[in-house]
């Protein structure tokens, strides 16, 4: 699985004008299941992101995790993270097939929530509008 993680002071996802998920300080997690990902990947990614020390401590150093700061997570599916850019038009053949991608995406969001992190999510396959205030900015690419 691949994720693009952004430390945010707030973020929201909307579909057709309806807010599906909205968080305060925490992580916006754009996630993509890849071909060959197994059932262990969502848990491994959730655990890795919950412990990622990208929040400031008392000294202003990035030394605290999402769990340490009591932050929230907004999980949004984004198959375009599988983009193959060999030419000018991206290909997405390395993304998991839609049904498998949706299952792994939902499983990932459940795993994040099971770690005690308040979790909101988008809608798999929908045309979503994501808004955020990137804190820092801090944006990190993660693969498991």
Pick the catalytic residue from 6, 19, 55, 79: 79
Would residue 108 show up in a list of annotated catalytic residues for this protein?
A: no
Would residue 55 show up in a list of annotated catalytic residues for this protein?
A: no
| CA 71/CA 64 separation, integer angstroms | 11
Would residue 80 show up in a list of annotated catalytic residues for this protein?
A: yes
Q: Map tokens 């909307």 to a residue.
A: 14
Pick the catalytic residue from 6, 78, 119, 120: 78
Cα–Cα distance list, 123 to 20, 32, 40, 48, 91 (Å): 8, 13, 22, 23, 22
Pick the catalytic residue from 19, 35, 80, 92: 80
Helices 98-114 & 40-51, crossing angle to 10 degrees? 40
Cα four-point dihedral sign 140, 53, 23, 72? positive
Catalytic residues: 78-80
């Amino acid at each position: 699985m691949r994720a693009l993680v952004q430390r945010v002071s707030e973020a929201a996802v909307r579909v057709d004008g309806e807010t599906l998920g909205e968080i305060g300080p925490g992580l916006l997690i754009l996630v993509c299941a890849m071909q060959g990902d197994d059932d262990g990947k969502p848990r491994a990614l959730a655990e890795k992101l919950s412990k990622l020390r990208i929040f400031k401590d008392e000294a202003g150093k990035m030394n605290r995790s999402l769990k340490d700061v009591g932050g929230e997570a907004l999980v949004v599916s984004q198959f375009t993270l599988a983009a193959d850019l060999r030419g000018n038009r991206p290909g997405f053949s390395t993304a998991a097939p839609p049904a498998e991608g949706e299952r792994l995406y939902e499983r990932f969001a459940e795993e994040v929530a099971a770690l005690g992190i308040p979790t909101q999510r988008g809608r798999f396959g929908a045309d979503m509008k994501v808004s955020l205030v990137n804190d820092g900015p801090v944006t990190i690419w993660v693969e498991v």
